[in-house]
Amino acid sequence: MRIRRYVAASLPAAVAQVKKDLGPEAVILEVRRVRAPGLIGWFRPRRVEVTAAGGEPYPRTEATSCPSPKASTPAGPAPPPAATWAVGATALLPTELLPERLRRPYALAREQVSKLVQRGVRLELAQELVERALANVPEDRLADGAALTESLRREMLRLFPSSPPEPLSGRVFAFIGPTGVGKTTTIAKLAAIYSLQKEKRVAILTQDTYRIAAVEQLKRYAEILRLPLEVLFTPDDLPAALERQGQADLILLDTAGRSPKQGMHLAELRTFLGRCPEIQNVLVLSATTKPDDLEHVFERFQPLHPSQLLFTKLDETTSVGSILNLMARAKMPVGYVTNGQNVPDDVEVASPERLVDMVLGGTPDA
């Protein structure tokens, strides 16, 4: 029996080499994703390393004389490398090619990866998370689905940066983000909570004068809550309004929704908000946005340096996994999340545990 290692650009290419060299009966012992050594390796795509056994069994040798102690220990093949999980690399591999002890763990892992992907997590991130999760499951619990889910849960939680218990610690917050994500509704919810429940002096400002309905919407909320509302028509109106509202503990600034494609409008908004360094920007994103679009929107708003994220419409989607894609990329705290149209009830401080549980949505069959 020979044990050999093969490195190729893809798994099918590596398996083809194995078959050619070790014969059709060869058994795959280990599959890993590897990089070329040294700094240069980080700039090259990862390759697949397959360790396989095959060929003729070792011939039995008849001892003709009393062997020396050294010769009595045949050198034998090198043991396979310590297990490094390669869920992505093995995804196309028929389970029968895997050693018996790895079949169930890999089957469970693949199930988890496809569940995460269905819920909006990018494939590469899903594979990485599951690989890291597997690496932390004790050897004797590898076939236990619940152990993998628990480990995966911990890996997912690690993506969230620690956030302050009070998301709106500061005085002036501008709510930025695309049209229709729920900025104005969320401001109404928060204005009600901070003024009625937390007894803060709250003022509302709006820069969204592009649609008459937008100002009217906010005016109605401000009237019901008996809060001051300032409508800002030019960037110069902002410092003056902030000065007039100098007594307020919390100022919530609504902005005109911008299509993320409208670069010029974003630049305008940046100039507007850039006048007052005291303003912290909350990037409002809808959890219903397609994962790719969500990352695109997130990127487009980066020039405005948001300090936290706020996700709306969690009630309308099962693809909350796309939130993890942003967490892996941005390490930005999530302050509030909203889960319905009711003002002020449908808003809560984001809980990474709850978000992760929404992505996992129940354990797979153990």
Ligand X SMILES: Nc1nc2c(ncn2[C@@H]2O[C@H](COP(=O)(O)OP(=O)(O)O)[C@@H](O)[C@H]2O)c(=O)[nH]1
Interface residue list for ligand X (CB under 6 A): 179-185, 257, 312-313, 315-316, 338-341, 346
**186 is a site residue for Mg ion (CB under 5 A):** no
Cβ 266 to ligand X, closest distance in Å?
15
184 binds Mg ion (CB under 5 A): yes
Closest residue to Mg ion, based on beta-carbon distance? 184
How would you classify the pairing of strands 172-176 and 202-206? unpaired
Which amino acid is present at 139?
Answer: E
Give which of Mg ion, ligand X, none residue 180 binds (C-beta under 5 to 8 Å, depending on kind).
Answer: ligand X
Concatenating the DSSP letter of every residue in 164-224 gives -SSTT-SSEEEEE-STTSSHHHHHHHHHHIIIIIS---EEEEE---SSHHHHHHHHHHHHH
Task: Specify the residue, 204 or 238, whose C-beta has the smaller distance to Mg ion.
Answer: 204
Can you give the length of the chain in residues?
366
User: Using CB distances below 5 to 8 A depending on partner kind, what does residue 181 bind out of ligand X, Mg ion, none?
Assistant: ligand X
Q: Which of helix, strand or coil describes residue 155? A: helix
Return the residue nearest ligand X (CB atom).
182
Q: Which is nearer to Mg ion, 89 or 304 (CB)?
A: 304
- In this structure, the number of other CB atoms found within 10 A of the CB of residue 24 comes to 8
Q: Pick the closer one to ligand X by CB: 182 or 344.
A: 182
- Reported in sequence order, the residue ranges of the chain that DSSP labels E, i.e. its strands, are 2-8, 27-34, 47-54, 172-176, 202-206, 229-231, 250-254, 279-286, 308-312, 334-338, 347-349
Q: Which is nearer to ligand X, 137 or 202 (CB)?
A: 202
Burial label, 363 (beta-carbon count in 10 A; 0-12, 13-18, 19+): middle
Q: How far is the CB of 312 from Mg ion (least distance, A)?
A: 12
- 185 phi and psi angles, rounded to 5 deg: -60, -40
Closest to Mg ion by CB, 133 vs 256, is 256
The listed partner (ligand X, Mg ion, none) that binds 338, CB under 5 to 8 Å by sort, is: ligand X
- What x-and-dash track marks residues 198-227 binding Mg ion by CB under 5 A? ----------------x-------------
